[in-house]
Structure 1
Amino acid sequence: MKFLKYLLVFIPISIAAEFMKMDPIWIFIFSSLAIIPLAGLMGEATEEISIYSGPRIGGFLNATFGNATELIISFFALKEGLFDVVKASIAGSVIGNILLVLGASMFFGGLKYKVQKFNKSIVEVSASMLLFAVIGLSIPAIFTHTVNKELLTGKYEWLSIGVALAMFIIYLLGLYFSFYTHKDLYGSEHSDESEPKWSILKSIIILLVCTIVIALESEYLVSSVEPMTESLGLSKFFVGIIIIPIIGNAAEHSTAVLMALKNKMDVAVEIAVGSSLQIILFVAPVLVFVSLLFKPMSIIFNEFEMVALIVSVLIVNRVASDGESNWLEGIQLIAVYVIIAISFLI
């Protein structure tokens, strides 16, 4: 995590590049590199605040701010009307977390330890929630792709709002389940015995400053997406489903791998699968609600995004069902992610 802080130098560089009206490709690269350490600092500040607030409030803060970077980037993308990029980034975040992050954690952890174990009960709960979430996205997508479009005129918004509301309610009930009625199931994952490194005031200030600067960098990033994709010949889907999720979650991804190297696969799995749940059940509905302030965004994904999501969830359910992992399972997950990434690139 320490090396990420050296990337903070790209904050002034990206600001200078924007004022100098440099090539959009460079603005995109500089703002991306600036967001990565800011997202890491935001996560660190949230962890520090959670130590002071206790495990229950801390869990809620982690759930709320865990994907704040992607929420901010997506907000500016919504403002620009880049709905395809926003929906692709939602799908890409889920796919990236449960294939690339979990796969990398299993692979690197497996190179050091022959077999790594994790809490099977937690994975089963998370996997069932993830399966529900994908079904929640699949049904309206299949419905709209099969029904006569003329019959659906003006009804996309209401369908999306209804689905988003149902998923958001399930997300809140999931929090209640894990932090109240069944907190014993999670055991040590929700207890915090570590000592704070920062004061509560310092943590709050860092969180606020990072949020403001990420908002600024996100505006630069989003404004450069269209000219950058046109210049390089990339599709917006590839930028949304691969590049933006990696930028927004780089710090979280590295933490999961580090936990696996310390033989803490419980934590690595919770980071990967838990973050995916937050994206589908919390971030996606919030973005649908926020889009009502501009132009309503439907929650209908295209066919390939849905197939990629369904395949990813099914594979993870299969790989994680035995409560054990090894390096070969990690490679398998990474291979599926690479195949999906190449498909979107083409």
Structure 2
Amino acid sequence: MKILKYLLIFIPVSLAAEFLHASQILIFILSALAIVPLAGIMGEATESISHYVGNRVGGFLNATFGNATELIIGFFAMKAGLFDVVKASIAGSVIGNILLVLGLSMFVGGMKYKTQYFDQKVINVTASMLLFAVIGLTIPAVFTHTVPSALLTTRYEGLSVTVAIIMVSIYILSMVFSFFTHKDLYAVEATEEEKPKWSLKAAVFVLVIATVFIGIESEIFVGTVEPMTKAMGLSEFFVGIILVPIIGNAAEHSTAVLMAHRNKMSVAIEIALGSSLQIILFVTPVLIFLSLMFSPMSIVFNAFELVALIFSVLIANRVASDGESNWLEGVQLIAAYIILAASFFIL
């Protein structure tokens, strides 16, 4: 997206604002605007690399770096002790991808095409995996919410690590399923081959540089969360569940909507649901493992987050069941997201 290039100006501006100790609210906004184009550049770099290394390795790179921005932000948030923000961003990413991104994709595509069709078999596999993943994500929380506190011991904290190990194992097996044993299921029709934007060396260099700058901007961004929320009267919970996912996945979200507008609804839905799956099965376990370097983070969501997660995934499975979509379904998903966002705002 051409507009992302113009947003790169916010990188030096945000760094200057941090150096000059400007308003924390201003630094928060500037660093957020700087992260958006960097995330987009990372996506373009991995796409270019996939042209040289093949679809299998390219798919792995896209899966790894697709949510790298949120992973980096989450790391610095954990380092700052903002565990509630990290967990809220995990829930918010899943909810946002399913309701907001998928809703916008269906609405935009539906306004151009009366009915859009997608590969029901592939999407059903992803949706079913997503249902399993969210069950694993919510079990530790359900356990702690239902078992009397008097019966809980410090041993239950190891449950999160155990679940994380299982999740990342399922993630690896899903890669084997997609790229080896059932790769014919994911075969795409031959299309006119697009030339990569950069050479292999240039793409790797751009990917490394973008990752470094995202790390710098993420540390600045996370450092402004507490003072910004106090100054604006927002909760850290709202920042984590709404703002962080939108900022971290803005470029990826725009790609899904663009694909829907081009009548490539299978790609759009796979981006939305696949990104949610990666958040749960890859990003979340990695964050849990990294938290062991500071203070162990448990996967315990509050009751409202649990309900929102479960209903969002059930909606995803319902949407995937008929193999077609229209603009009204998109409006319904967007409306559900706005209702949830309004509810999170007043918490």
TM-score range, shorter chain: over 0.9
Percent identity for Structure 1 against Structure 2: 70
For the residues of structure 1 that align with 2:295 and 2:91, how far apart are their CA atoms?
20
For the residues of structure 2 that align with 1:76 and 1:118, how far apart are their CA atoms?
38
For the residues of structure 2 that align with 1:216 and 1:329, how far apart are their CA atoms?
39
For the residues of structure 2 that align with 1:251 and 1:44, how far apart are their CA atoms?
10
TM-score if structure 1 supplies the norm length? 0.98
Q: Secondary structure at the match of 2:154?
A: coil
Residue matched to 1:304: 304
1:302 Cα deviation (Å)?
1.0
Residue matched to 1:329: 329
Give the CA RMSD over aligned residues.
Answer: 1.3
1:148 Cα deviation (Å)?
2.0
User: Do the aligned partners of 2:138 and 2:299 also contact (CA within 8 Å) in 1?
Assistant: no
Q: Out of 140-149 and 265-274, give the one that drifted further.
A: 140-149
For the residues of structure 1 that align with 2:157 and 2:193, how far apart are their CA atoms?
46
User: Do the aligned partners of 1:51 and 1:192 also contact (CA within 8 Å) in 2?
Assistant: no
For the residues of structure 2 that align with 1:170 and 1:127, how far apart are their CA atoms?
14
For the residues of structure 2 that align with 1:285 and 1:150, how far apart are their CA atoms?
28
1:301 Cα deviation (Å)?
1.0
State the AA in 1 paired with 2:154: G
For the residues of structure 1 that align with 2:69 and 2:172, how far apart are their CA atoms?
21
For the residues of structure 2 that align with 1:49 and 1:319, how far apart are their CA atoms?
33
Which consecutive segments of 4 or more residues in structure 1 shift more than 6 A?
189-192
Residue matched to 1:100: 100
Structure 1 residues 261 and 146: alpha-carbon distance in aligned structure 2, compared to 1, 3 A threshold: same
Written as runs of structure 1 = structure 2, the 5 A alignment for 1:162-177 is 162-177=162-177
State the AA in 2 paired with 1:266: S
User: Do the aligned partners of 1:259 and 1:267 also contact (CA within 8 Å) in 2?
Assistant: yes
State the AA in 1 paired with 2:318: R
Residue matched to 1:223: 223
For the residues of structure 1 that align with 2:328 and 2:54, how far apart are their CA atoms?
38
Query: Is there any run of 5+ residues in structure 2 with no aligned partner, and where?
Result: none
User: Do the aligned partners of 1:104 and 1:334 also contact (CA within 8 Å) in 2?
Assistant: yes
For the residues of structure 2 that align with 1:329 and 1:160, how far apart are their CA atoms?
35
For the residues of structure 1 that align with 2:236 and 2:312, how far apart are their CA atoms?
21
For the residues of structure 2 that align with 1:122 and 1:270, how far apart are their CA atoms?
8
For the residues of structure 2 that align with 1:199 and 1:42, how far apart are their CA atoms?
14
1:134 Cα deviation (Å)?
1.0
For the residues of structure 1 that align with 2:190 and 2:84, how far apart are their CA atoms?
36
1:191 Cα deviation (Å)?
8.9
Residue matched to 2:2: 2
For the residues of structure 2 that align with 1:69 and 1:110, how far apart are their CA atoms?
30
1:138 Cα deviation (Å)?
2.0
1:155 Cα deviation (Å)?
2.0
For the residues of structure 2 that align with 1:24 and 1:251, how far apart are their CA atoms?
25
1:192 Cα deviation (Å)?
9.2
Residue matched to 1:125: 125
For the residues of structure 2 that align with 1:194 and 1:300, how far apart are their CA atoms?
44
TM-score if structure 2 supplies the norm length? 0.98
For the residues of structure 2 that align with 1:48 and 1:149, how far apart are their CA atoms?
52
Residue matched to 2:66: 66
1:157 Cα deviation (Å)?
2.5
For the residues of structure 1 that align with 2:308 and 2:35, how far apart are their CA atoms?
27
Residue matched to 1:187: 187
